[in-house]
Amino acid sequence: MEWLSHLSGGFATAVSLHNLALCFTGVMLGTAIGVLPGVGPLVTIAILIPMTYALEPTSALIMLAGIYYGAQYGGSTTAILVNLPGESGSVVTCIDGHTMARNGRAGAALAIAAIGSFFAGTVGTLLIAGFAPYLSKIALSFAPADYFSLMVLGLVAAVVLASGGLLKAFGMILIGLLLGTVGIDLTTGTPRYTFGSFDLVDGLDFTALAMGLFAFGDIMANAGKTHDRQMMQGSIRGLWPNRQEFREAWPAVLRGTALGSILGLLPGGGATLSSFASYSIEKKISRTPERFGNGAPAGVAAPEAANNAGAQSSFIPMLTLGIPSNGVMAMMIGAMMIHNIVPGPEVMSRNADLFWGLVASMWIGNLLLVIINLPLIGLWVSFLRIPYAYLFLGILVFSMIGLYSITNSSVQIFMAAGFGVLGYAVNRLGCEPAPLLLGFILGPMIEVYARRALLLSQGDPSVFVTEPLSAVLLLTALGLLASVLSPSIRRRREEVFAEE
């Protein structure tokens, strides 16, 4: 049980006063942005990445991770009380959670969401601690062709599972791949698409791209919108489910945790996909499906457990393989690169304190969320009274300060402004920007591993199909793409994302 000794060392790192304070800061910020619709963890992490330069890598990742899984908690609070999901993974929670609140069971709904989230987060943390070391050892035996095919599978899965049309998602991936080619070719030393600009020699800055695409683009897309925020009247009583509600909720928590833990591993999966899938399954297997939509405790327990389990397990491919399963994980990889940490299977051997400290902080963060969430319900709901004009102005100011601090130059600000226009255009066209970010992160890696494989095979491209593992991964990607193009699956996929 070597991983237990590593985990105890991780707890020693995580409970240091500095890291504990940053974990608390992360989950508090995550809860706050989970409450506020139109912000989300992607925007917040994009804003805060340049501000983590002064922190140790472990401390920075602990805080950024806390923002992500903290947002899953915060989104459920307003979904239940205000019928306004602050985070996409909490959309399904509105259906039965807000109905329970209108029926006088708001406290029970919040408690079910908190308990289910904590249990799922604990299981997700144990999965990372238990399976990540073995997955890292397996990954170390991968040949360059295997890595190439694995990343191709990741991009295909991101296309298939992205919301919106397949063609739009594929277009976003291609744009990301093209943006990733800007800069010096590491193999030949030749500048590519720099147009003679010295500022582009090192490639496009990840922080400027992320902040422009999500923060600036989000401001332009949402600044003129108004939101109907009907606050629930009256006090919240009975912050604990009764025996019948608990009996209905706990099997749903178990099933949601299991499903979310699996779906979180998939590229393009994570919290949102897990919550929708778990709700659909609970409704189908229920003996009383007519109760769903009318305040069924299982309709709150399952999606909340699933989205938190999905959020936690999505760290596994990011930490062990260096492959992001969603946009937030792409941000985390960007943060690691900024701190000169190469994501992949060697993280556990070269940066053991970082890996195990991050894993231990996840359990501590989930415990902190349970402790602080329920007593501060009134504070979180009051956040919804903040006018959007003030909110977005603050985001803009902090973003520009962070961008300028990267190189003490205004170049990053102008670059982010350009990507902000791109982000706005993407939003107006109904495209999801996360696949673009995945393409930008994985594109250079795909190129590197493809070239290594071709060099080792002396230019023979058949190496990608003659290597057994590489062939299986490519066939899986091809099968996944072919299946989603079938009329029935394509129609069902469009219905699911239309509901979302």
382-441 pLDDT, tens digit per residue, is 666 666 666 677 777 777 776 776 667 788 888 888 888 898 888 888 787 778 888 888
Do 49 and 390 form a contact (C-beta atoms < 8 A)?
Answer: no
User: Which of 422-426's residues contact partners 24+ apart within 8 Å by CB, and which partners?
Assistant: 422/212, 422/213, 422/217, 423/212, 423/213, 423/214, 423/216, 423/217, 423/218, 423/220, 423/221, 424/216, 424/217, 424/220, 424/221, 426/172, 426/213, 426/217
| pLDDT at residue 33, as a whole number | 74
Instruction: Look at residue 238 in the predicted model and tell me its pLDDT.
Output: 58
Sign of the Cα torsion 49, 54, 57, 62 reads: negative
195 φ, ψ to 5°? 55, 35
Identify residue 27 by its one-letter amino acid code: V
pLDDT of residue 42: 72
Residue 384: the pLDDT is 61
pLDDT (tens digit per residue) in 268-322 = 556 666 777 788 888 888 888 888 888 888 888 888 888 888 888 888 888 887 7
* Tokens 């991770």 sit on residue: 65
Give the CB-side neighbour count of residue 308, counting CA atoms within 13 A. Answer: 41
> In this predicted structure, what is the pLDDT of residue 231?
47
pLDDT under 70 in the chain at which residues? 1-4, 36-40, 83-89, 91, 161-164, 222-239, 266-273, 374, 377-378, 380-391, 402, 405-407, 484-500
99/280 Cα distance (integer angstroms): 18
The whole-number pLDDT of residue 500 equals: 47
Q: Residue 152: what pLDDT?
A: 86
Distance CA 221, CA 216 (A): 9
pTM given for the model: 0.72
Structure confidence at residue 60 (pLDDT): 87
Which tokens in the block code for residue 85? 């999901």
